[in-house]
Structure 1
Amino acid sequence: MACLAVVLTVMISSGCGLSYPPAPTTLTERAPDHYIIGPGDSMEIVVWGNPEVSASIVVPPDGRINTPLVEDVPATGKTSVELARDLEKALSRYIKQPVVTVILSGFVGPYSRQIRVVGEAAEPQALQFSKGMTVMDVMIAVGGLTEFANGNDASIIRSVNGQRKQYAVRLNDLLRGGDISANVEVLPGDVLIIPESLL
C-alpha cells in the first residue's frame, strides 16, 4: 500500500520493485468521435436572424451557461449539436422556430476526456484528448522529458471496465532511441506518470 501511495504522488522509483505490463499497442476500447463540451471551453452561440440574442460564452466550472434569453442551460457533457438543439427548445418560448449554431473556439473539454501528464515532463499539464492521439503526440505537447526523467520506467494509469490499471511505457526508447514500437495510443482520462531517475 505504501508503494501505491508513492506511485500516485509521482515519486515512484525502481526501489518499490513495481513492474507493470506494457501498454497495449492496439486498443479495443475507442473514444467517442464527437467532441464533448467541458468547463473552460469557449463558444459562439449564433441565433440566426437574431443577433441580439447571439453570444460569446466561456463554459463556467459548473457547466451551465446563460444566454440573453435563457439561463442555466447545462452544456458540459454534450456535443455542440446537442447543445444547439437544447438552446433552440429553450428559445422557442420567445422566438418562432429559432435556428441555433454552436461554434466551439477554445477547447478544454471535461476532465474525463483529458490526458494528464505528471512528473518529469518539461511542461507537466492536462491536455485535451484528440482522436488517434499517441504517447508521442502527448510528449510533443509537453515539450519532452527533463534531463532527470527515467522515461523507460514511465507508466499510464487507465480506467478499464471501471477498474484502474497501470501499464508500462518506454519513453526513452521512443523519444531518445527512435523505437516507434514504443509509441502507444492513449485514451481519454489516461494519466501519464514520468518518474525521476535515481541515478
Structure 2
Amino acid sequence: MNKEPQATASSTRPMNITRPALALGLMTLTACTQTWVEPKYQQPDHFAAWSEATPSVYRIMPGDDLSVVLPFNAELNFRGSVAPDGSLTMPFAGTIPAAGLTVAQLADSVNKALATGGMAKNGYASVSIIQSAAKIYVGGQVGRPGEIALHNGMSVMQAIMAAQGLLDTARTNEVVLIRRSPDGREMLRTIDIDALTHRGDSKQDVVLQAADTIFVPKSSIAEVDQWIDQYIDKVIPFNRGFDYTISNNPTWP
C-alpha cells in the first residue's frame, strides 16, 4: 500500500534561498531606475537648472584667518582672524573693515591705513587667506558626516576624503551635490565617483563652493540588505538552518 509523501525536517542542509531571492528581485527593480533621486525631486519647480558658472571672486568673511605681508617692511607683517563684526585689527594700521572685501581691496585698505599712520608711504601689502571660515556639509555613507572647512579649490572627492572616506555601503556612482543658485534656489546634480576614480572623468571632479552639501546615499545592495533585515527578518522570523523537504520514499515508523 502506497503511502502519501511526508514532509520531514532536516537541519543538515541550510536553506538560504529566501534572502538571495528577495535581494535579486529588489536589485532587479533597482536596476531599472536611472537615478537614485526620486523623479518628483528632479522637477524644475523643485530645483533650479544646474549651472557650472565659475564662482564669483571670494569675499572675506568673519572668522577668516588672514596673512598680511609687506615685502619692504617685514616687521609689519601680520597674521590674524577677522573679528565677528567683520573687522581686522592690525598693529600700526588699526582696525580696518574687512568682511565683504576681496583680498585686493583689503590690501589697498591696509596700505592706506599704514600711510595715514605714517608707518609706510606705500607698503605694497599682499593679503592671503590662510584658512577660510567657509563651510561645506557632507552626509550619508561617509566615515564622519558633518561640517567641513572649505579650502580653496576643494573638490567633491577631497571633501569626501576629509569626511574620512566612503563606507562600504556607499553608492559611489550617484553621489548627490546640492548648491544654491544665484537667485537662492537649490540646484542638484549627481557625481559619479566611480567614473572619476576608474576612468579619470574630469567632469565628475567638481570644485566646491561655500555652503555646498554633499550626500552619499546607500548602495542598492545595502538598501536591499537593510530592507530584508527590517521587513523580513524582524517581521517574519524563521530558522534559516531549518529545511523542509519532500521525500518520495519516506520511512514510516
**TM-score calculated relative to the size of structure 1:** 0.65
**2:85 corresponds to which residue?**
62
Larger radius of gyration: 2
- Listed as ranges, the matches of 1:117-156 within 5 Å are 117-124=138-145, 125-131=147-153, 134-152=155-173, 154-156=175-177
Q: Does 1:41 align with 2:65?
A: yes
| Match of residue 193, structure 1, among 199, 215, 220 | 215
Query: CA offset at residue 68 of structure 1?
Result: 1.8
What code does the residue aligned with 2:152 have? S
Distance 1:80 1:129 in 2: 16
Q: 1:155 to 1:180 in 2, by over 3 A?
A: same
**1:4 corresponds to which residue?**
none
| Match of residue 29, structure 1, among 53, 58, 63 | 53
CA contact (8 A) 2:143 2:165 kept: yes
Distance 1:15 1:82 in 2: 42
Q: 1:41 to 1:119 in 2, by over 3 A?
A: farther
Q: Does 1:77 align with 2:103?
A: no
SS at structure 2 position matched to 1:185: coil
What code does the residue aligned with 1:161 have? P
What code does the residue aligned with 1:93 have? T
What code does the residue aligned with 2:117 have? Y
Distance 2:196 2:74 in 1: 52
Query: CA offset at residue 86 of structure 1?
Result: 0.5
Distance 2:193 2:131 in 1: 30
CA contact (8 A) 2:139 2:214 kept: yes
Structure 1 unaligned residues grouped into runs of 5+: 1-13
Question: CA-to-partner distance for each residue in 1:115-167, whole Å, 9 max, x for gaps?
Answer: 33233222444242534x54334334434312343445532221123132242
Q: Does 1:102 align with 2:126?
A: yes
Query: CA offset at residue 85 of structure 1?
Result: 0.6
SS at structure 1 position matched to 2:179: strand
Give the root-mean-square deviation of aligned CA atoms. Answer: 3.7
SS at structure 2 position matched to 1:72: strand
Q: 1:62 to 1:121 in 2, by over 3 A?
A: farther
What code does the residue aligned with 2:64 have? G
Query: CA offset at residue 66 of structure 1?
Result: 0.6
Q: Does 1:159 align with 2:180?
A: yes
**TM-score calculated relative to the size of structure 2:** 0.53
Provide the aligned length of Structure 1 versus Structure 2. 177
Distance 1:175 1:104 in 2: 31
| Match of residue 116, structure 1, among 137, 145, 167 | 137
